[in-house]
Structure 1
């Protein structure tokens, strides 16, 4: 797939700016070889990093240690040492240097289907290229010009993402989850006798969705010339064609426009700079950057701030004007005002969350996981959430069941306004899904297993013959959104049309009834990717039963027609015979082989399957004992949720397994796999940053201890406390309808407190309970063991 989008100039288009000679550059004749030079640089770094060595001028506030992750080792070639910034519309990765474009080389590659070298990219939600002919998908996310980072020039030396690590000291890069900002500090000693102290402060605005901001503070140890360069780096582009590139030194502005390959969609990146007054701007000949030459005085600090607007034809009829307006408006407001508004938006998000007293490790993992999810979604957007959010082009930025099954339930419990983007994405794609079904001569709606925003079927193999359990999970998410929010109007206009259209498609897909009096699904495939095709996959067939039930309920609530065949299919859908008492075989003919990821066990959660003789407990144990531990990072979260109901002694083990093997330093983001590949048949290396796994881990913490289920007409709670949390667990902002609750789970008792909205009624083992303002409800907490 990578070869279908050649960028012959992607790694060769980076030009060096004109060399500037500093006043204090050492005479190379005095150097007695490279070893002596490195020794002198090391001495400079030690002296420069000593307390009081420089006049204070780097004003970035120190973040709360409990809400931040720190890298103290400059590792430019470690792709996991690149922090992620995002606001749900713009996503970008920063290299350890503090900004700019860095390619990690061919040894470090992305996941299916691109399998290309990793790099620090910037992505805009909804901005996709037309894929080359493929049997599975039609769109691939495009990458924009690199906007972050300033290059710094001292004499012939330049500070870039590829700077020599031997010249870097006093290094510290901090990702503050609470403020969604990255601060990078370093002392750069390019030559003996010359050192420059640097501080980059970067954020992608949550308050202004098309704005990113970066401030650089430079404190040199010498007096002379300094060059700071603002550029938009074409080397970061992927699957785009340049439209325009120009620099306007009078207005301190650099502009780059690109068109997504195979489309008419364009995106523009506009950078505008506040530089020290005595800086002299000079445009690069190719228009991709501006040098700001400044005569500096030793031990004084100089600040350069860039305001970057990013927009596309998805957001504005004139994206260049929109991007320019965002940049200039940000500049007019100023760094402090922009940052304050940005932090205020994140503070609102962080009012909700999960706290585990006494478990600093879990609190750190929770914050990192929730940050990676929240950075990938925003209310009101037209797009769903991809497996790696907007952090990379792993999985080509396509939408999978990850969004509906693994990410959606986490957002629904805490942020229903964000969860709505996922269900609305399916609703907006309904006309295309209907056209997909018609293309195969079928009624209803057919959604592709993997594709971009267009949601077009590329071929029968990638659409109608594999991973069709997806349709049941899409329908379930639509129904859960209605049950959780009670939004009947949304159900009428969006949710019910999707659910019933899926039911119409499945009715045709499984019919007619066979001579045994049952409906059969063939060919098909479940979630277990070690089995591409099968007959009567248990998860798919059991999901059909659920879809037929909720389709009838949604239709009755909204006045849509109810197909009488739905009830017949629900009552007579075939299931494969049991492979063990109470345990249906994964598919017809399954004999106990290892499985890649949770499949049949999903019948119990998120579905609530209850066929004759079915045992959720036995199914949990049978299949999790056969799940590949090297498979993708999602399964154990469901193990935690199911074990909380059926085998609570194992809940903590599943929770630990859902996070510990996958978290990677220094920023505690999650990988898709424990190793380099997510399963024996994985294509490419495991995905990073794996938002699906982060959301799965959070889903386990939200639904296992609470026993939360979105049952109609009221949700059900059955709290228990995992044995690894002796001091309890608190969920702040559990959303039910238009209200929010605080759920305090302690060893003996669980307390539900209404924190906003109207009274909330829940179903519990002690009966129906109503939580009102000033009248919390107490429930017994089940023991884990």
Structure 2
């Protein structure tokens, strides 16, 4: 029997008050975290070494690293049942050891066809183009203390660590650790670390450590660049600089000797406890002798009992991908940072984050009168996640104009080599939409990547005998975007091409940046339409257009015909391409129009949309597929709201429990748009968040259950930024009902009754700036002057529609709003209608004293 989730108020802190026993429970109701609303911070007092879920993730959009439970060290996962057993593995396609990874944006290698990865889709394709996987750099943040045979790094045992606290503030982007280290019976050490990846200086990392010894102690302090994280990299050079306190390690991605990443570390250990003249090349058990990219510098220290010794480390990092003289850039970044000093660097870093992640840039569930969160622990978790989602996505982005923002976002970000650091549809379809709304100058990093690789997509199509001007993006991509075994271009997930095009169109609708759109995005949409005109094949028997031998998002069903989501996306894309032609005064392509109007949309006699042409009722679906037709696709071609609701309910019962984290966010959005009664949208929201969030740091895992023996054999990607991206869409696109894929802005507000109030993040459309607050019955929409975007309606009112795109005019209401005006619009209150007559319990709070499976919430019984 378990106690229901409960959050206890402690002033501005909400605490999950349960202890951990047995196998580590990383769920957000497991007692591993406290939330402080005043500085948006999470704190843990539980030390959990050697498990990836407990590691912090820090980045600044150019460089990043995962940091150990004990501090800013490299860490490798440990087999929790057999210390000498096989270490935990990351997932497809590399299946390499789980480590605290570190890399530079775009630092991809090439992998010879003769050495294929353990996982792939079509290995025979590697004869035509090599794979490109993310390479690591030496882990940059370590400061190691050693006294005799005792040393403090990620391997510190639980028995040697006490009074432990670790913290991340989402307002400041600073990670902190404080604890007592007791390596032996002779002395103890009160240790603290703090580190940040500078938001102001993209090439800079800073680390601070303090130590107070209980007794006089002689030992060493080491500035370490740990090469164990430099996976798929080759040493170029390394060394200790003469007459300096700097070290360096330069690495090249495998098989790319002309690309080099430089990591330069320097220290300020000038205090009365360190003998700076004793500098030596680091050695010892904490230095990875097996990896030749490792370098360290050690200094003798003489600590005095009860006195505080402070140590600073400043790191400069650059690669020749973005900086012609990367070594000079890294060295100057390090030198300038050390000259500025910790306090100055920290202040500018915090100020930079404060300008980006403002209080109105996240969805806020606090009561506007009391300033407190509701007592419902589920709503509290949603609030914390709304902050965490935004932070984790933003810290992997650089702003437009930086020259560093054209490498998109990988599944695990700059601190994970999950999925080999490859770029999937995850970035365009899952991470981008919420970012586009609130941070269009940052989300452009995702579209810039596709624009950069458009020429390669044209070459991919030509190689596969598509007509001139066609484009085909590869399913996965690293440095080049060529067709590979993991990233086929044909006979697979063609929908990627449409996902890319629709994100570009959404971004244009939001920003009103025609100059940008006309120089890349418009051409991508056109080339995708040309490709589609060739891909769609006319079937004489059905007198309709088919897509043969393809795979929809449900990767449990490969190489099928007429995947519903893909063929509907193809039709939508052709319509969009013709609309763009007409808007330019050009003639519509009649072939595209004929194809778009006559696709073979698979459906059963029951009116259930078939996921693919030959699907039967035994299907199990990996992830959101047919339900994507309602949102984000807004597909309405002979597809009614009744059809959509039928599909939603049907595929909810076909969804595999072992699917990835972003799926149920779509169910939540769809349910809020389509439901005529009940409150399943709230249940789906919980299912899209809580089973996948991992304490202590509210990072998403790909799986609801991380144990590969219980989840169908999947080694989950972690952190799973795709999950953060999906969850980031629920409030604006689900509860507020925003649609930005239309030529007019749409809202369709309805707030589940379990949530009393939300202040929606500030968002944009057509260059205009708006905000919304929602309570149970009404929504207030306010328009503000735009300061960063060109407002299409700056001298007039902004039109918008309340309702659903494609609905009859009688079911929608048109409004217009002026700058500095607030309009109040009624919410849909469909949940007040009883699904079952005389159901007195519908949508009321539910708790259970019995355990339940991940995602199987008690509240679902009466939603």
Distance between the aligned counterparts of 2:304 and 2:633, measured in 1?
A: 67
Determine if the alignment matches structure 1 residue 269 to structure 2 residue 250: no
> Which deviates more from structure 2 when the two are superposed, residues 264-273 or residues 295-304?
295-304
Cα deviation 1:218-239 (Å, max 9, x = unaligned): 1122224242100111222100
- Aligned counterpart for 1:782 among listed residues 812, 821, 828: 828
Distance between the aligned counterparts of 1:600 and 1:490, measured in 2?
A: 32
- Aligned counterpart for 1:609 among listed residues 621, 630, 635: 635
- TM alignment of 1:127-206, pairs within 5 A: 127-133=107-113, 134=116, 135=123, 138-206=131-199
* 1:725 to partner: Cα distance: 0.3
* 1:579 to partner: Cα distance: 5.0
- Aligned counterpart for 1:745 among listed residues 755, 774, 788: 774
Distance between the aligned counterparts of 1:676 and 1:329, measured in 2?
A: 43
Count of aligned pairs between the two proteins: 722
1:367 alignment counterpart:
387
Distance between the aligned counterparts of 2:487 and 2:363, measured in 1?
A: 41
* 1:107 to partner: Cα distance: 3.5
The 1:327/1:111 distance shift into structure 2, 3 A limit, reads same
2:450 alignment counterpart:
426
Distance between the aligned counterparts of 1:678 and 1:467, measured in 2?
A: 26
- Aligned counterpart for 2:671 among listed residues 643, 646, 650: 643
Determine if the alignment matches structure 1 residue 324 to structure 2 residue 324: no
- Aligned counterpart for 1:108 among listed residues 88, 100, 115: 88
Distance between the aligned counterparts of 2:410 and 2:201, measured in 1?
A: 22
Helix, strand or coil: the match of 1:128? coil
* 1:531 to partner: Cα distance: 0.5
* 1:349 to partner: Cα distance: 2.2
The 1:81/1:595 distance shift into structure 2, 3 A limit, reads same
2:835 alignment counterpart:
none
Contact 2:553 2:625 in 1 (8 A): yes
Distance between the aligned counterparts of 2:709 and 2:727, measured in 1?
A: 19
- Aligned counterpart for 1:67 among listed residues 33, 40, 62: 40
Distance between the aligned counterparts of 1:625 and 1:684, measured in 2?
A: 21
The 1:761/1:334 distance shift into structure 2, 3 A limit, reads farther
Cα deviation 1:435-493 (Å, max 9, x = unaligned): 00111111300101112131111259822011111111111111111112222222211
Contact 1:240 1:258 in 2 (8 A): yes
1:445 alignment counterpart:
471
Distance between the aligned counterparts of 1:560 and 1:122, measured in 2?
A: 49
- TM alignment of 1:33-52, pairs within 5 A: none
1:597 alignment counterpart:
623
Cα deviation 1:398-427 (Å, max 9, x = unaligned): 111111111111111111112211112111
Contact 1:95 1:101 in 2 (8 A): yes
2:365 alignment counterpart:
356
Determine if the alignment matches structure 1 residue 584 to structure 2 residue 557: no
The 1:392/1:360 distance shift into structure 2, 3 A limit, reads same
Distance between the aligned counterparts of 1:719 and 1:684, measured in 2?
A: 37
Contact 1:276 1:302 in 2 (8 A): no
2:731 alignment counterpart:
701
Give the TM-score taking structure 2 as reference length: 0.81
1:297 alignment counterpart:
304
Contact 1:617 1:646 in 2 (8 A): yes
- TM alignment of 1:612-627, pairs within 5 A: 612=638, 614=640, 615-627=643-655
* 1:677 to partner: Cα distance: 6.8
1:38 alignment counterpart:
none
Determine if the alignment matches structure 1 residue 530 to structure 2 residue 582: no
Contact 1:596 1:679 in 2 (8 A): no
1:121 alignment counterpart:
101
1:8 alignment counterpart:
none
2:429 alignment counterpart:
405
* 1:612 to partner: Cα distance: 2.4
Distance between the aligned counterparts of 1:679 and 1:569, measured in 2?
A: 46
1:76 alignment counterpart:
49
Helix, strand or coil: the match of 1:721? coil
The 1:613/1:667 distance shift into structure 2, 3 A limit, reads closer
Determine if the alignment matches structure 1 residue 546 to structure 2 residue 572: yes
The 1:266/1:163 distance shift into structure 2, 3 A limit, reads same
Contact 1:484 1:715 in 2 (8 A): no
2:28 alignment counterpart:
none
Determine if the alignment matches structure 1 residue 691 to structure 2 residue 698: no
> Which deviates more from structure 2 when the two are superposed, residues 451-460 or residues 289-298?
451-460
The 1:764/1:597 distance shift into structure 2, 3 A limit, reads same
Contact 2:498 2:569 in 1 (8 A): yes
Distance between the aligned counterparts of 1:622 and 1:482, measured in 2?
A: 34
Helix, strand or coil: the match of 1:687? coil
- Aligned counterpart for 2:222 among listed residues 229, 235, 241: 229
Helix, strand or coil: the match of 2:746? coil
- Aligned counterpart for 1:283 among listed residues 280, 284, 293: 280
Alignment root-mean-square deviation, CA: 2.1
Distance between the aligned counterparts of 2:669 and 2:482, measured in 1?
A: 34
The 1:78/1:637 distance shift into structure 2, 3 A limit, reads same
* 1:289 to partner: Cα distance: 1.2
> Which deviates more from structure 2 when the two are superposed, residues 737-746 or residues 655-664?
737-746
Helix, strand or coil: the match of 2:651? helix
Distance between the aligned counterparts of 1:770 and 1:611, measured in 2?
A: 28
Contact 1:723 1:784 in 2 (8 A): no
* 1:560 to partner: Cα distance: 7.4
Distance between the aligned counterparts of 2:540 and 2:207, measured in 1?
A: 65
Cα deviation 1:247-285 (Å, max 9, x = unaligned): 126321010000000112110101111112442241317
Cα deviation 1:319-360 (Å, max 9, x = unaligned): 111111111111111111111111112112222110112232
Cα deviation 1:137-175 (Å, max 9, x = unaligned): 721001110111211012331111112321111111111
Distance between the aligned counterparts of 2:784 and 2:460, measured in 1?
A: 45
- TM alignment of 1:375-386, pairs within 5 A: 375-380=395-400, 381-386=405-410
Distance between the aligned counterparts of 1:421 and 1:285, measured in 2?
A: 39
Cα deviation 1:591-646 (Å, max 9, x = unaligned): 12111111112112111212325411111111122111221111111111111111
Helix, strand or coil: the match of 2:155? coil
Helix, strand or coil: the match of 1:565? helix
Cα deviation 1:693-745 (Å, max 9, x = unaligned): 0110111122111111014322101111112202x111131122333222101
Determine if the alignment matches structure 1 residue 761 to structure 2 residue 786: no
Distance between the aligned counterparts of 1:432 and 1:585, measured in 2?
A: 34
Distance between the aligned counterparts of 1:272 and 1:557, measured in 2?
A: 57
Contact 1:427 1:494 in 2 (8 A): yes
Contact 1:206 1:342 in 2 (8 A): yes
The 1:579/1:606 distance shift into structure 2, 3 A limit, reads farther
Distance between the aligned counterparts of 2:147 and 2:798, measured in 1?
A: 64
- Aligned counterpart for 2:321 among listed residues 314, 319, 334: 314
Helix, strand or coil: the match of 1:151? strand
1:344 alignment counterpart:
351
* 1:561 to partner: Cα distance: 7.6
Determine if the alignment matches structure 1 residue 575 to structure 2 residue 601: yes
Distance between the aligned counterparts of 1:94 and 1:251, measured in 2?
A: 27
Distance between the aligned counterparts of 1:681 and 1:650, measured in 2?
A: 25
Uncovered stretches (5+) of structure 1, i.e. residues with no partner = 1-61
Cα deviation 1:734-785 (Å, max 9, x = unaligned): 1223332221011121111123324543222463323333321111122251
Uncovered stretches (5+) of structure 2, i.e. residues with no partner = 1-34, 79-85, 117-122, 284-293, 367-373, 787-793, 804-811, 832-863
Distance between the aligned counterparts of 1:440 and 1:195, measured in 2?
A: 66
Shift >6 Å, 4+ stretches: 677-683
* 1:681 to partner: Cα distance: 9.7
- Aligned counterpart for 1:85 among listed residues 58, 72, 93: 58
Cα deviation 1:657-705 (Å, max 9, x = unaligned): 0001111111111111111379999775011101100110111122111
1:18 alignment counterpart:
none
